[in-house]
């Protein structure tokens, strides 16, 4: 697993590096309102395509480990044809004809008709790119996946850069960047997965895929609404500026999500293969690996929370500095979601995705109620708090039921201790951010906090020194 995750993590470092290097330029030309429009543009298309995908991306990933190669190749081709047909119908009969109504009723005309249509197209491109890049993960083609990820972010940044400097565009530069980059990497992903297609229609195989994936549909609907409701409420109550602040805070905290996804891409096949094996200590190894990567996620999240202040000052303008108050809260949300690294694989292995829907629906209700209560008062900060609280509750329930359908030797007291420790250190970010001392003093204070976190995790035996070296690729 470590060998596979190495390439994913390296790709994550490069992706983060590209995003950081471009910030000083982009924030000189793009305002918070521009980032608000970009955030809404990205979220709408992804929302629609995921709502009508019938959970087939998860089905394909799960069935890859259960079907014979030929049977899967037929299934994969059937899924491609089926989803292209579905998305074409949705676009031609729902999105394009009613784009003006969607713009008015949902986005208060902050997202134009043209952007609604382009957002849907981008959502389709993004969905298929993620679908086929995920199959690279299933095949353990970590180098191919990593190079594809680097290509996507590099092309996106370059195209956006070009349209900003040479065509004097603002948010439309990012829109064109996303569309062109996703088109290119999708084509490459299809070529890299050409061995997974067999041109044959099998209704039987497609039914198996739908049977596997459809139980996840309610969860997808709830999950997508969960991830978009706050932005829609923000734009209608507070305006684009708060959406921009919230989106920008997400961009910084999202660095942790990049690492969670990177390590998860190695952990998921590792989990599913061990779960399907007859090894005596397979379950124990899964749990121990999960503990270790969870502690590492905590370290990365705390570091991002502490040093987002310096990064914002160095890379952006005054308009964006307020995002530093949102970052630690969103980190809590991502840390809570990191528990799905184990529970989601328990559901997939047991083909019990139907557990997801009621839990996610509860999370949606909590999230909506908290957003309605907190956004009018606290704006973007209220949206972040609502999202974090809902994530803590739903993730806890997910991991409990995941362990019921596929029992693992999880020590819940130990896991709770880890979560509390990480959250305490994230809360410590705020006093450090608020104190008015020289940045040099604050810098060393933040280094001490990170060092203290490492010492405590070793002292409590959450992770061993030797294992830290392995995860850092020293050995």
Q: What is the residue-level pLDDT of the chain in tens, covering all 475 positions?
A: 555 567 777 887 788 788 778 878 888 888 888 888 888 898 889 889 988 888 888 888 878 877 878 888 888 899 999 999 999 999 999 999 999 999 888 888 888 999 999 999 999 999 999 999 989 888 888 888 889 999 999 999 999 999 998 988 999 999 999 999 999 999 999 999 999 888 888 888 888 888 887 777 766 776 667 667 777 788 788 877 888 788 778 878 888 887 888 787 778 778 888 887 777 788 888 888 888 889 989 999 999 999 888 888 887 877 788 888 889 999 998 998 888 778 888 887 887 777 777 887 888 889 889 989 998 988 888 989 998 998 899 888 988 888 888 888 888 889 899 999 999 999 888 888 888 777 788 888 899 999 999 899 988 888 766 665 555 544 4
| Owning domain of residue 191 | 2-471
Q: What is the pLDDT of residue 474?
A: 42
Total number of domains in the chain: 1
Report residue 106 as tokens. Answer: 């949902």
CA atoms of 98 and 188, how far apart (whole Å): 33
Residues 379, 242 contacting (CB under 8 angstroms): yes
Q: What is the pLDDT of residue 475?
A: 43
Residues 463, 295 contacting (CB under 8 angstroms): yes
Report residue 432 as tokens. Answer: 């450090």
Angle between helices 240-276 and 113-138 (to 10 degrees): 20
**φ, ψ at 408 (rounded to 5°):** -125, 155
CA atoms of 389 and 370, how far apart (whole Å): 9
Residue count of the chain, please give it: 475
Residues 342, 201 contacting (CB under 8 angstroms): no
Q: Measured on CA atoms in the order 202, 203, 205, 209, is the torsion positive or negative?
A: positive
Instruction: For 157-193, give one letter per residue: b (16+ CB within 10 A) or e.
Output: bebbbebbeeeebbbbbbbbbbbbbbebbbebbeebb
């Amino acid at each position: 697993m470590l060998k596979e995750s190495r390439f994913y993590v390296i790709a994550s470092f490069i992706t983060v590096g590209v995003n950081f290097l471009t910030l000083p330029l982009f924030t000189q030309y793009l305002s918070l309102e521009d980032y608000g429009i970009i955030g809404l543009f990205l979220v709408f298309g992804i929302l629609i395509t995921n709502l009508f995908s019938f959970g087939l991306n998860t089905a394909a990933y799960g069935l890859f480990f259960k079907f014979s190669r030929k049977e899967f190749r037929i299934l994969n081709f059937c899924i491609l044809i089926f989803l292209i047909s579905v998305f074409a119908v949705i676009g031609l009969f729902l999105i394009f004809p009613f784009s003006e109504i969607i713009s008015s009723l949902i986005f208060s005309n902050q997202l134009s008709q043209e952007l609604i249509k382009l957002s849907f197209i981008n959502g389709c491109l993004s969905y298929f790119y993620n679908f086929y890049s995920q199959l690279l993960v299933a095949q353990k083609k970590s180098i191919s996946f990593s190079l594809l990820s680097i290509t996507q972010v590099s092309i996106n940044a370059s195209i956006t850069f070009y349209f900003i400097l040479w065509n004097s565009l603002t948010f439309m530069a990012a829109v064109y960047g996303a569309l062109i980059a996703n088109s290119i990497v999708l084509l490459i992903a299809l070529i890299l997965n050409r061995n997974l297609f067999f041109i044959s229609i099998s209704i039987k195989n497609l039914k198996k895929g739908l049977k596997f994936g459809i139980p996840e549909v309610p969860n997808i609907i709830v999950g997508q609404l969960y991830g978009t409701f706050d932005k829609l409420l923000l734009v209608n109550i507070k305006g684009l500026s708060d959406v921009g602040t919230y989106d920008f805070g997400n961009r910084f905290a999202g660095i942790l999500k990049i690492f969670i996804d990177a390590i998860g891409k190695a952990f998921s096949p590792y989990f599913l293969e061990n779960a399907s094996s007859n090894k005596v200590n397979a379950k124990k190894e899964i749990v121990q690996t999960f503990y270790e990567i969870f502690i590492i996620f905590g370290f990365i999240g705390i570091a991002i929370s502490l040093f987002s202040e310096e990064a914002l000052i160095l890379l952006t303008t005054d308009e964006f500095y307020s995002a530093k108050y949102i970052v630690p809260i969103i980190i809590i949300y991502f840390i809570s979601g990191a528990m799905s690294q184990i529970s989601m694989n328990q559901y997939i292995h047991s083909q019990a995705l139907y557990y997801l829907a009621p839990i996610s629906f509860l999370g949606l209700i909590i999230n909506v109620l908290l957003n309605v209560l907190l956004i009018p008062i606290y704006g973007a900060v209220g949206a972040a708090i609502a999202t974090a609280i809902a994530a803590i509750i739903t993730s806890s329930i997910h991991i409990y039921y995941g362990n019921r359908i596929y029992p693992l030797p999880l020590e819940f007291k130990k896991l709770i201790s880890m979560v509390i420790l990480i959250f305490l250190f994230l809360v410590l970010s705020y006093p450090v951010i608020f104190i008015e001392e020289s940045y040099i003093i604050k810098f060393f204070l933040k280094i001490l906090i990170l060092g203290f976190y490492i010492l405590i995790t070793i002292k409590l035996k959450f992770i061993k020194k030797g294992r830290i070296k392995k995860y850092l690729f020293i050995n």
